[in-house]
A and B are shown apart, each in its own frame.
Chain A
Amino acid sequence: MLTINALSKSFDKGKSYALENVTFNLKAGQVCAIVGESGSGKTTLVRLIAGLERPDNGSITMNEKVIASLDKFVQPEKRKIGLVFQEYALFPHLTILENVLYGISKVKNKKEKAQEMLDLVGLSGMEKRYPHQLSGGQQQRVALARALAPEPSLLILDEPFSNLDTMLRTQLRNEVFDIIKKTEVTVLFVTHDTQDALSVADEILILQKGKVIQKDVAENLYVKPNTLYVASLFGNTVHINKNLQNAFRCPLKEDCCHAIRNEKIIVSQSSTEADCEYITAAKVIKKIPLGNATQLVLKLESGEQLTVMTQDQNIADTIYVGFNSKDILEFDQEL
């Protein structure tokens, strides 16, 4: 449905790239999340797809038609893409109803259509209000209704929940995606929060410094991350550097990078109790109670420091930590 090929964008004439050689596919009806830190190029990618920026190289194809390339550019108003901005971008001088009507002025029965959309997002009865009279969550839903009203073939949500507090965020995320599911639209969902991505996306695309690092289903990203960065996005991860390898006496491949997920590190009171291949004794320097678990800052025999989590409430001053080879994540060194 959407094909991005070798897409590049630079804002300083090629000195640095906001987006570099990005290539991926999106199938119709899919929800794909784009995850990355701020500055990773997420918003640039979205703006290129929407037609608000022009690519320096590569192409974007939608429904078998090239919409942006070196010699072709389809104006944003001709692309039939719905976009919900991070700051919602509601038209402040128009009422809620007028906002939703805005994109469907040429549609027959536009009033009914707009009303239908407002019903869908649960805002019927607020048609005559202005954006500033609504709460953040309500504004969000107006933006969604406005974007969905023209029945776009692709809906892009650009960090739609980042302006909301945590409680509201989870609730609204579920609501929004319940609404979206009803419309069967293809969705590109930009977020810096992996929880957001995991809970709603069919596939997740990881962007780092303008490049696609990995695109896969959530499960694979957890089990077989491409890089240490991807691994650490989906849970606390410890990089097994040379010193740790020595401490645990576990020789690993020289030209690779290794890591272990925090929850795969086994903590036990005695060396015999623990069932793991690599083990070492450690002194507990600090215990930080976190409610459902305790965080331990350890000093290994070798002098290395390590932070682990445990459910165990009674921790002696000296304990044993270890892990198994099957849990070790391995990446190419350069990544």
Chain B
Amino acid sequence: MQQAGNNNKAFSLKTRIKRLKRDINKWSVFTLAIVFFLALPIIFIGVELFAGPGETWGHIVDYLLLDYIWNSLYLVLVCSILVLLLGVSSAWFVSRYDFLFRKQMEWLLILPLAIPSYIVGYAYAGFFDYGGSMDLLFRQLGLEFMRIDIMNRAGLAFVLSISLFPYVYVSARAFFLNQANNLLEASKMLGVGELKTFFKLMLPLARPAIVAGLVLVLMEVLNDYGAAKYYGVNTFTTGIFRSWFSLEEPQTAVYLSALLICFIFALILFEKWQVRKIKFTSSKTNSNQIQRKRPKGAMKWLIFSVVFLPILLGFILPVAQLIYWAVITASTVFDMEFIMISLQSFAIAIASAVITVFFALVLIYFSKWSTLTTIKNISRVGVLGYAIPGAVIAIGIMIPTLALDKWLINILGNFGIDSGLIINGTLLALFYAYAVRFLAVAYNPIDSTALKVDNSIPDSSKVLGVGNLKTFFKIDFPLIKTGVFSAVILVFIDVMKELPLTLILKPYHIDTLAVKAFEYASDEMVMEASIPSLFIIFTAMIPVIFLNKLLIKK
């Protein structure tokens, strides 16, 4: 009885508060501060909603909103179907069968990720354009009437799918390679055929992995600005840009952003629901790889074509088109200014990668040291930026920083100082935005390597009299170096490719390769866009290959 009384008391409000007072430490406070800092853009969008919509909001609701919603739904639906077809089939074939160039194609299938979707869009637009390669081919064949118009909604869906399917491919392949072998053998022993095994066993089991990849694709689809703009399709993102730049109505942009956020959270809920509905426990010891089958005859060629097609469409064709254009335009584009822009691009990408990784490390370790479990859960909020489209984050940063700058200018003006904009339109705002947007990209690889370090290792450092920070530098960091390194590379690639956020927030006098390519394309100089595009692709390609090697080694 006395014990029960004691323990009831242990969780009474009074003792809980006492414990909270004992357990809250500087790390808890820092973690909360950082999460708040990273969530600020979204909080501002929420707050700004209360200021009411802008003047044109009524016009947008009447004439454009339905278009935005309908187009976004169309893109989500069509892209889902296409990326599932391309991603899952290729992942299954390279995991299950052995065929000509299988090893090479396994990593070639990841390469489309190195090309930003808007660049794939430019290439295909040129390819199918009047006088483009396809047009010439048809004319050679006497099929002039066969011109395919790609500059529409369907074309956009195709372009986005062909450049984003690797997200599904990578997660599905990881599942097939690591988890499937025992099940496959069991299915074989039970006398079930190949097709039935795939549809009845592998596909349902791989669903959580596939859905996870699919949600990443759809987030990118909704994030896209460059391709949709070029193809003349009205989406939420193009709407946000139009309200901001053409209509100069921030409030309308805020309302569209809020709607887009709701759209995305519905997607995330869908994923959670899908994964919860079928939470499979997979044996972790199952590390033996799939025994690959060797297909024969027509089957061999069929499989080869299914796997080769996405590589051809997603990488070879667009790159070939870009190289062709690059050769034509090299003399006009490649000058001192271009080299400067490349260097700026590199410097910005490296700096923001380092800053973002710093935030990820701080968030992971501060929340670990805070000892309060609630803080650990809250810290996950900081990672949500990846779900928020770049344009939305940019608006969420633009509005408060403009207000803050106005305030600062006023104050400094009182002292007779003409400061100009301090935060807005500077690299500071840009780095901040990249950190918010790409935190998850840095967080995940670091977190997963950190999880592999047994807790007893940093614990024994502490017991030996060494504090948290010193333990981090002497023990944790050397053990998670590879995770940190891949995080830097991944963020670097993403920043190199990023367009919408950069377009809104970049300082006036600074350009990146992505912005340059976009500007050329917008000025009807799509051929000239090829050289900056190729630069982005090749800088992104090397790390993609490198990371794939790391992935295989794991």
Contact = CB atoms under 8 A, between A and B. Distances in A.
A binds B: yes
B23 interface: yes
Interface in B460-513: 460-467, 474-475, 478-479
A70 B464 contact: no
Interface stretch (B11-19, B331-339, B433-441, B540-548): B11-19
A196 B74 CA distance: 69
B19 A56 contact: yes
B246 interface: no
Interface stretch (A82-90, A160-168, A311-319): A82-90
Q: In terms of DSSP, what is the predominant structure of the interface of chain B?
A: helix
B524 to A, nearest CB: 57
Contacts of B6: 6, 8, 21, 57
A50 B459 CA distance: 10
B464 A54 contact: no
A85 B465 contact: no
Contacts of A13: 11
Contacts of A146: 460, 464
A52 interface: yes
A80 B10 contact: no
A249 interface: no
B453 to A, nearest CB: 9
Given A71-B22, A89-B456, A102 B3 contact: no
A103 B456 contact: no
A87 B23 CA distance: 28
Q: In terms of DSSP, what is the predominant structure of the interface of chain A?
A: loop
A91 interface: yes
A93 interface: yes
Given A75-B462, A85-B456, A14 B11 contact: yes
A202 to B, nearest CB: 24
Interface string B531-546: 0000000000000000
Nearest to A52: B459
B24 to A, nearest CB: 11
A77 interface: yes
B7 A20 contact: yes
Contact of A72 (B10, B22, B459, B463): B22
Interface residues of A, number: 39
Given A14-B11, A54-B22, A81 B478 contact: no
A10 interface: yes
Contacts of A54: 19, 22-23, 371
A50 B479 CA distance: 24
B9 interface: yes
Contact of A89 (B9, B19, B22, B454): B454
Nearest to A93: B478
Given A8-B10, A54-B23, A57-B10, A150 B454 contact: no
B465 A103 contact: yes
Contact of B10 (A10, A77, A91): A10
B21 interface: yes
B457 to A, nearest CB: 5
Given A54-B22, A71-B21, A87-B456, A76 B10 contact: no
Contacts of B11: 10, 13-14, 56
Interface string B8-46: 111100010011011100000000000000000000000
B461 A91 contact: yes
B145 to A, nearest CB: 69
Nearest to B23: A54
Contacts of B18: 70-71
A80 B466 CA distance: 11
Contacts of B462: 51-52, 75-77
Interface in A58-103: 70-73, 75-83, 85-87, 89, 91-93, 102-103
B457 A91 contact: yes
A17 interface: yes
A102 B466 contact: yes
B2 to A, nearest CB: 8
A152 to B, nearest CB: 9
A17 B456 CA distance: 22
A81 B462 CA distance: 10
A37 to B, nearest CB: 21
Interface string A158-194: 0000000000000000000000000000000000000
A89 B459 contact: yes
B479 A70 contact: no
A240 B474 CA distance: 59
Contacts of A50: 459, 463
Interface string A15-48: 0010011000000000000000000000000000
Contacts of A87: 454, 456
Q: Would you list the 6 A-B pairs with minimal beta carbon distance, nearest first?
A: A103-B464, A89-B456, A14-B11, A57-B10, A89-B460, A85-B456
15 contacts: A8-B6, A21-B3, A54-B19, A54-B23, A54-B371, A57-B7, A57-B15, A70-B15, A77-B462, A82-B463, A89-B457, A89-B460, A91-B475, A102-B461, A103-B464
Interface of B: 3, 6-11, 15, 18-19, 21-23, 371, 454, 456-457, 459-467, 474-475, 478-479
